[in-house]
Amino acid sequence: MSSPVEEISGAGVRVWLPRLTRFEKARIIGARALQLAMGARPLIDVSKMPVKDFVHIAGEELARGVLPFTIVRRLPSGVRELIPVSLLIKSEKKIFGGVEL
């Protein structure tokens, strides 16, 4: 029987689910929007964006895969997975053709 855990992007990172859940996306966008509201610099060029809202900027940063965040997933077996968000975004784009926010 094969394991549901797979390696993504040849980076040596093995994950159970090779995409972000809706809860992880919400948490990342909320945390990044708060950082932007508190004065953090955007990681993308926002001069050409039609909407300058913090949540919209955070969502665009997530969709482009430039956020230096790491997801910690705890599996039922007690194992913790540390997965860079950029790898999950690349995997999601490869599998689904884009990132749904």
pLDDT digits (tens, 9 = 90+) for 52-90: 899 999 999 999 999 999 999 888 888 888 889 988 888
* Predicted pLDDT of residue 35: 97
DSSP structure string for 20-75: --HHHHHHHHHHHHHHHHTTPPPSS--TT-S---HHHHHHHHHHHT----EEEEE-
Instruction: Give the tens place of pLDDT for each residue, 8-24.
Output: 545 566 666 788 889 99
* Predicted pLDDT of residue 1: 40
Pick the CATH number of 6-96 from 3.20.20.70, 3.40.50.1970, 1.10.10.10, 3.90.940.10: 3.90.940.10
Q: Is the pLDDT of residue 32 over 60?
A: yes
DSSP state for residue 93 in the 8-state scheme: H
Pairing assessment for the beta strands 13-15 and 6-8 based on DSSP bridges? antiparallel
Q: Between 96 and 37, where is the model more confident?
A: 37
Sorted by where each begins, the domain ranges of the chain are 6-96
